[in-house]
Structure 1
């Protein structure tokens, strides 16, 4: 794909996506070692340290995170006085059910960025973030 003009590769581990078992380190490392374009790891993040782990251990240039952020947002919605009854977007059936996903530890963007910074991975830490972003594509500084 690189020879065909791809500018980056999103490596999705479909069998880990949504499981919270962590990124597929072997898959991501094999891809990162084989190409000179940026590689984005996707699928499987379940705890904050999964993010710096895949960057350090597999050598990817970026990560895509969704579930941890989604469930962090769900917890915040449930904690508000408005509750899920006023939220009409997204998986409202899941919100009303009260179920929890056990393998995924909810986390916000700032928690993920703090974990990256603590492991020496440069990223911008901003206190001015707005909104309830529930997905993250993080490119690390010094990408390919």
Structure 2
């Protein structure tokens, strides 16, 4: 169904793309939303919930729920900051191992998206969506 709402149309596309990635990652017991957070945590220093939320444009409640799930699976760990309400997140060894194990299937999802929609089209769309998001968060 073609929607008149730009937000609704973007969400339709996001659900279709999410489904493609989730299918590739299913054998690892992880969803693309979780994989994206693991990728974002693949860095040398722990990162605060607030910083991660800002970087991923996720509200903190949604991010906190996903981080809690990843923590239960022992894929991420948190340490308290100076303010005990702050948490700094990092990958565990198990999280790093899972991230590395998923990479080829994530790449397969990327290639499948390119195959179905055209690599140039997907890359151009990606640039446009990133530019749109950047403009909308400037305020």
Larger helix proportion, structure 1 or 2? Answer: 2
Fold equivalence (TM over 0.5):
no
TM-score after normalising by structure 2: 0.30
TM-score after normalising by structure 1: 0.29
